[in-house]
Amino acid sequence: MTFVLASASPRRLELLAQIGLTPDRVVPADIDESPRRAELPAAYAERMAREKCAQIGRQCSAERVLAADTAVAAGRRILGKPADAAAARRCLGLLSGRRHRVIGAVALATPGPAASGRAAGPAAEPAAEPARIAVRVVQSTVTFKRLHPDEIDRYIESGEWRDKAGGYAIQGRAAIFVRRLSGSYSNVVGLPLFETWSLLEGAG
């Protein structure tokens, strides 16, 4: 399966490698990731994945492009990547003793007949839009135990919260915070593997 990955996330590369997939190239998307006013978490994750896919799909119009996004939601509130330790502390305080959702969206752009005849790569003549973008949205539910302030302090000191939606990594030290998980584990890490494989396999 040949494709371009529109993400610089090392976690997504590791997850793809877990199922025997390696992208031909990694071309990170650069889009505005600010939520829109009153935008719901699932709609936000889907829009982010679609916009990343479309942006890199225009650059690499003769290739399949895979993009993804992960949103952590406490109710209707989207918890993004904390800007600093204080923001990470607020995220963990909000998640402590509560159930939250992790919404993952994965998108695959496939070239049309005209685009597939062009030379591949960013230097190729861009198409107006990829011929088709298919999106799958997945939801997992995670329940945290009640966190003691000392536990939050130690986690903040570890630095593991950096560049993590919701301020934690389930595959790291935060695993001990999780009382219950319903749904896809790989989705919580950063990429729903069943849906990703299905999209790529369906594209041929």
Catalytic residues: 69
Packed helices 10-18 and 193-203: angle between N→C axes, nearest 10 degrees: 70
Beta pairing class for 25-26 and 4-5: parallel
Question: Which residues make beta-bridge pairs with 26?
Answer: 5
- Using DSSP, state whether 116 is helix, strand or coil: helix
* CA dist 185 → 73, 120, 156, 181, 193 (Å): 16, 34, 23, 8, 9
- Distance between CA 119 and CA 135 in Å, rounded? 25
The strand ranges marked E within the chain are: 4-5, 25-26, 65-74, 77-79, 99-110, 132-144, 178-182
How far is C-alpha 163 from the geometric centre of its chain's CA atoms? 12
Beta pairing class for 132-144 and 99-110: antiparallel
